[in-house]
Amino acid sequence: MQTHQYEAVIIGAGGAGLMAALYASRHVKTAVISKLYPTRSHTGTAQGGIGAALGNLEEDRPEWHAFDTVKGGDYLSDQDAALVLAEEAVSAVIELEHLGLPFDRTSEGRISQRRFGGHTSGFGGSPVRRACHAADRTGHMILQTLYQQCIKNDVMFFDEYHVIDLIRSGDTVVGVVAININDGKLHVFHSKAVLFATGGWGKVWEITSNAHTLTGDGNAITYRRGVPMQDMEFFQFHPTGIYKMGILITEGVRGEGGVLINDRGERFMERYAPSIKDLASRDVVSRAIYLELEAGRGIKGRRYVHLDVTPETVNRYLAEAGEDRRIDAEYIETRLPDILDFCRTYLGVDPVKEPMPVQPTAHYGMGGIPTDLDGRAVIDGSRTPLPGLYAAGECACVSVHGANRLGTNSLTDLIVFGRRSGKHMAEYCQGADFVPLPDNPAGEVEAELQRICTASGSRKPYEIRAEMQQIMMKHVGVFRTASGMQEALDTVRRLQEQFKTDLVIDDRGQRFNTDLLEAWELGCLLDIAEVTAASALARQESRGAHSRDDFPKRDDEKWMVHTLAYPTDDGGIRLDHNKPVDMSLAEKDERFKAKERVY
Amino acid sequence: MRVTMRIRRFNPEKDQKPYWADYTLDQVEPNDRVLELLHRVKWEQDGTLSFRRSCAHGVCGSDGMRINGVNRLACKVLVNALDSGDHVKIQIEPMLGLHVIKDLIVDMEPFFEHYRSVMPYFVNDDPLPEDGRERLQSPANRAQFDDTTKCILCACCTTSCPSFWANGDYVGPAAIVQAHRFIYDSRDNAAAERLKVLREPDGVWRCRTIFNCTSACPREIEVTRAIAEVKAAMRRGVKHPDPE
Amino acid sequence: MATLVTTVTETLRYRGKIGQWSWVLHRVTGLGTVLFLVLHIIDTSWAAFYPDLYAEAIAEYQSPLFTLGEFALIACVVYHAFNGLRVTLLDYKPEWWAYQQRAAAIVFGATTIVLIPTFGFMLSHVADFYGEDPDLVSVGDIIETQSQFVIGFVAIIAAALILSALYGLVSRSRSGFVLPGRLEAAMWLFMRLSGVLILPLVFGHLGMMHVIQGVFDITGGGIEVVGTDIVNDSGKAVEFVGARWDMLVAGVAIWRVYDALLLALVVIHGFNGLRTVINDYALQPLINRALNWAVVFGAIALIVLGTAALLEGVDETAYDIAVDINETTASAAY
């Protein structure tokens, strides 16, 4: 077994990982390990924009951005984090531009901005142009730009190395174990600090916008080594995924004037969010679509509604709203080229001429590895850091997004907290020594891989995965009930048991054994599904993306706390609700106090 | 409908040489993606079948392969775009010109080496704007290199190029597209250095204007045009629509 | 890295669009034209230096095998010229790329349109000639004489290989024959420029020598030689050549100038094309170096030979030395 020594090891090469790598590698010996080639990372699929109060087209302020973030998060966001996000977003976006990112431009040559759901001016007023964009491939540009800069700065990459375990020595994190996918050999990375930036876990659900590779590896690995998962009950369903496929249709479509229409031809968001309508935050819009579907107002009675961005519809509503702006087909072609391409390719639908069939799709995990503002993993209610462990991006929970993330804030999160983590990691490594590795650090995970490889049960991974995805979609989706969630939890636990005792895979080779790794990833998904269902079951209120039929109201008396889930020695879960939400802004400013959320 | 997948298989751990294997799938929908069919083969019939994939909607660039004789992304080709009828046959093989690691997986390292050789990153060491804000760029200047910013490095173009098949030292269309993205960015200062690299014998002059790259690109980048524009930059320098 | 064999077979297997097939044809037609070019320059120089050999060569050109070859040559040159124009246009107007498929189709169409009347003319010459039941050079003789060329090519390549191997030993060089980047760029430019310049020259040449008057008219006694006001009294091929080269307009031997231009442009264009193909497929350094040297040597040798012949010209004594074509074929028949 080969052992490598790097002061800083970063796992995952999406926006957060690469941003951290750029900063850490300036000062300490850094390695980036990714199970994919970096440019395959899911950051690249982010479409609409990155939120920052640049004010290039109209007045905007970071405090408004922080307010929208907190309100969008249904007051579960840590307010200190929301303020950092909003304030540093401005310099982060400018920094990206300086690194070469090709943003679209205003006529003055400044970064162009568009409207996005939940982003308003003047503490909840009218929609504001805050999303900085490069057509509808902003994430692609961010990913490419950061990877390019990493190449420029000679950052060391281990591409197609799949990290499968975290090595702890007592209370310190000392490295990770990875498998070189190409030849199946295990490698130990000995380090002073490890940053997880492994992204999300949308593959827990059946209909998702997420990549096949988004299996929550980082969260499962750290969880198994005693690090809690925070706020896992909050998983965002994006309102507009392509019907049945789940492929994301950016909120930017509505930002440009697109509207949601039901079978009766109604713009139904007028009823659910009278003020900003289709640009209400995602949880609100997803619930509205669900309610429309439940009421039988899906198109032709099926499980989808229409997203209409045809110029005639958009212009009609613009006129109705008294706006001067009008759009034409060419405008849509230049602003939303990829969306048009997706619809034409996968649906044979041309959005310039006809509406798109959409349904909510599992999209983003607000929860994750709890961290402080510098990306350090914190492992209890009083925010005690675990030395040497960092997390950033979707797998982390700072928490800025609270119970529901606003569109464009994920990219902002990656850059702002990726940067902070990278900086802090470098400082930490410069002041820390290597702690010796324990004996046989890869032994446990090697045995697990061996077990999967030689298992001779009856259930193939995909069968177990499909069953998990269906039950989670049905019962731990947009609307939830105690009995449904209990059923999901029981099912997931039964599937976990099958995974341990009745599994079988076909490929027993060493080379590029994706059969084995998919099975291993399934183990991660099951752990995350279990924690998600258990956390959701325990939270007896409705807040943000967690919406319960049996507890339809938000309960600020009891539930202004984060959920922390720990693994217990007997294989169970211990839930902890003793971590209060940071309300530091509300202490100084009335407007940040929790109140009923209306859009 | 029924689909027979004819897949080029090769696992150097046990096979002496590559071979064709057939897999038949029933109840295929005409608008299924080829990637979904590959998954069905892998999940339902033979877990040893290996291929790369991630986003499954044509953005990450993992699943480039040769489908019915042409380089495509498996997640961006629907069955009905290939053929119709009750029984469709689809032939799938790895991209040509890169060493096959296993089944449909090729060694991407030489591809990325070429990519890195053209300085695929923004270079501008001039002082930043004093107001601490973004550098300015007119919409017209931004539009000049828009097309080549779309590249996802899937290698469909490079491995469709007969010049690259003949000589793997040719930097290939994808690397030139990347160079174009920066050469024509009015904010960038390193065009001359990139052109120097591309002037070498394994640079742009190996392009024979065959246009296979342009038709292979899943992002519809006008690849051959970009290459021709890089050649033009060598002859007459780079001009931008707006002076800055 | 694909081997040469897989490169070629996969090029045929890959379902590229019309652009790919245009490129394949461009190579094939280019190579075919270069092959003829070599023979043609050597043969024609004999008109100046070995008038009797020239007469024999023309006799062979008047045989059915070469008649077929002549049709193929015309087709090659026409296609190559039109497609070269298409490529050059796209190189200079990248933004026209969207029309490239249509342009490729137009190239095929235009080639066909030009070839139909051309072939018609040529066929009429063929019909006239064969209608008179001429004596023909036997296939055996053709193989015998042409095999000398083959032996010559092989000998040059063998010599180049030996030299290249020796060079490799001495210099320990591991690289093939590499032009500096700037020169490669200049050659790229030259190919476009020369291609455009060659276009009228070669079409004029082909028109005169293959269409208006074919190879059969070279030996036609009493016929006014094309492009001149001189009558070929002897009916000998060398006199035909001599008449053209001696034709003066305002004191200038215009056809010598014309031929010199054509010679230089076509040889460099053709051999550089050959070099391009070699550098695509012959990657092994020793072989690559050898073939490149052979190409450079060949191009220089041909230009020197052709220029010498143009300077030397065809004088009266050559008319006497040159064997009468009918005697040659008669003697060959024995």
Q: What residue in A sits closest to B128 (Cα-Cα)?
A: A98
ipTM for the whole predicted complex goes beyond 0.85: yes
C residues 7..26 contacting B (CB < 8 A): 7, 10-11, 13-17, 19-20, 22-23
pTM for this model (two decimals): 0.94
Quote the tokens at residue B4. Answer: 């027979």
What single letter denotes the amino acid at residue A493? R
- Chains with ≥3 Cβ pairs under 8 A against A? B
Which percentage of chain C shows pLDDT scores above 90? 55
Alpha carbon of C181: minimum distance to chain B alpha carbons (Å) = 5
Cβ of B59 within 8 Å of Cβ of A45? The answer is: yes
| Of A201, A205, A202, A203, residue with least CA distance to A473 | A205
**Total domains present in chain A:** 1
Q: What is the CATH number of the domain that holds A282?
A: 3.90.700.10
Query: Among positive and negative, which fits the CA dihedral C319, C325, C330, C334?
Result: positive
What single letter denotes the amino acid at residue B2? R
**What does the pLDDT profile of chain A (599 residues) look like in tens digits?**
899 999 999 999 999 999 999 999 999 999 999 999 999 999 999 998 999 999 999 999 999 999 999 999 999 999 999 999 999 999 999 999 999 999 999 999 999 999 999 999 999 999 999 999 999 999 999 999 999 999 999 999 999 999 999 999 999 999 999 999 999 999 999 999 999 999 999 999 999 999 999 999 999 999 999 999 999 999 999 999 999 999 999 998 999 999 999 999 999 999 999 999 999 999 999 999 999 999 999 999 999 999 999 999 999 999 999 999 999 999 999 999 999 999 999 999 999 999 999 999 999 999 999 999 999 999 999 999 999 999 999 999 999 999 999 999 999 999 999 999 999 999 999 999 999 999 999 999 999 999 999 999 999 999 999 999 999 999 999 999 999 999 999 999 999 999 999 999 999 999 999 999 999 999 999 999 999 999 999 999 999 999 999 999 999 999 999 999 999 999 999 999 999 999 999 999 999 999 999 88
pLDDT classification of B206: cutoffs 50, 70, 90: very high
Spell out the SS3 assignment of chain B: CEEEEEEEECCCCCCCCCEEEEEEECCCCCCCEHHHHHHHHHHHHCCCCCCCCCCCCCCCCCCEEEECCEEEEHHHCEHHHHCCCCEEEEEEECCCCCCEEECCEECCHHHHHHHHHCCCCCCCCCCCCCCCCCCCCCHHHHHHCCHHHHCCCCCCCHHHCHHHHHCCCCCHHHHHHHHHHHHCCCCCCCHHHHHHHHHCCCCHHHCCCCCHHHHHCCCCCCHHHHHHHHHHHHHHCCCCCCCC
Distances in Å between the alpha carbon of A90 and those of A51, A84, A115? 9, 10, 16
Cβ neighbours of B56 in A, within 8 Å? 211-212, 247
**A and B in touch (3+ CB pairs within 8 angstroms):** yes
Cβ of B70 within 8 Å of Cβ of C279? The answer is: no
* CB B218, CB B58: distance < 8 Å: yes
Residue B151 pLDDT: 98
Name the residue ranges covered by the structural domains of chain B: 2-105, 108-236
Alpha carbon of C7: minimum distance to chain B alpha carbons (Å) = 6
Q: What residue in A sits closest to B145 (Cα-Cα)?
A: A102
Cβ of A36 within 8 Å of Cβ of B60? The answer is: yes
Q: What are phi and psi of A556, to 5 degrees?
A: -75, -20
pLDDT in tens, C271-302: 999 999 999 989 899 999 999 999 999 999 99
User: How many residue contacts between A and B have a Cβ separation below 8 Å?
Assistant: 157
B residues 94..133 contacting A (CB < 8 A): 101-103, 105, 108, 112, 116, 119-124, 128, 132-133
Residue C313 pLDDT: 86
Q: Give the whole-angstrom CA distance, residue A280 versus residue A273.
A: 6
| Residue A273 maps to a domain | yes
Burial class of residue A577 in the structure, from the number of CB atoms within 10 Å of its CB (0-12 exposed, 13-18 middle, 19+ buried): middle
Alpha carbon of C71: minimum distance to chain B alpha carbons (Å) = 27
Alpha carbon of B35: minimum distance to chain A alpha carbons (Å) = 11
Residue of B97, B166, B226 with shortest CB distance to C280: B166
Q: Which residues contact C57 (CB under 8 A, 6 or more apart)?
A: C43, C46, C145
CATH number for the domain whose boundaries are B108-236: 1.10.1060.10
Cβ of C181 within 8 Å of Cβ of B97? The answer is: no
Cβ neighbours of A108 in B, within 8 Å? 136
Q: What residue in B sits closest to A95 (Cα-Cα)?
A: B134
Cβ of B209 within 8 Å of Cβ of C19? The answer is: yes
* CB C196, CB C190: distance < 8 Å: no
| Residue A249 maps to a domain | yes
Cβ of A152 within 8 Å of Cβ of B121? The answer is: yes
Cβ neighbours of B186 in A, within 8 Å? none
Residue C331 pLDDT: 42
**C and A in touch (3+ CB pairs within 8 angstroms):** no
Domain holding A329, by residue range, is 240-361
Rg value, chain A, Cα:
23
Residue of A91, A134, A211 with shortest CB distance to B56: A211
Mean pLDDT computed over every residue of chain C: 89
Residue A282: active-site member: yes
Distances in Å between the alpha carbon of B107 and those of A87, B159, C80, C298? 43, 12, 37, 41
Residue C322 pLDDT: 64
* CB A249, CB A242: distance < 8 Å: yes
Residue C176 pLDDT: 84
pLDDT classification of C304: cutoffs 50, 70, 90: very high
Span of B61-70, B114-123, C123-132 with lowest mean pLDDT: C123-132
B residues 74..113 contacting C (CB < 8 A): 96-97, 99
Tell me whether B197 touches chain C (CB under 8 Å).
Answer: no
| Of A178, A201, A202, residue with least CA distance to A188 | A178
Residue of A145, A211, A509 with shortest CB distance to B11: A509
| Residue A510 maps to a domain | no
- Chains with ≥3 Cβ pairs under 8 A against C? B
C residues 94..113 contacting B (CB < 8 A): 94-95, 97-98, 100-101
CATH number for the domain whose boundaries are B2-105: 3.10.20.30
* CB C97, CB B224: distance < 8 Å: yes
Q: Say if residue C328's pLDDT is above 60.
A: no
Cβ neighbours of B211 in C, within 8 Å? 16-17, 19-20, 97, 100-101
C residues 264..323 contacting B (CB < 8 A): 279-281, 283
Alpha carbon of B165: minimum distance to chain C alpha carbons (Å) = 6
Mean pLDDT computed over every residue of chain B: 96
Average pLDDT value for residue range C90-98: 92
Cβ of C20 within 8 Å of Cβ of B212? The answer is: yes
Residue C4 pLDDT: 78
Q: Say if residue C333's pLDDT is above 60.
A: no
Q: Give the whole-angstrom CA distance, residue C128 versus residue C316.
A: 29
Tell me whether B160 touches chain C (CB under 8 Å).
Answer: yes
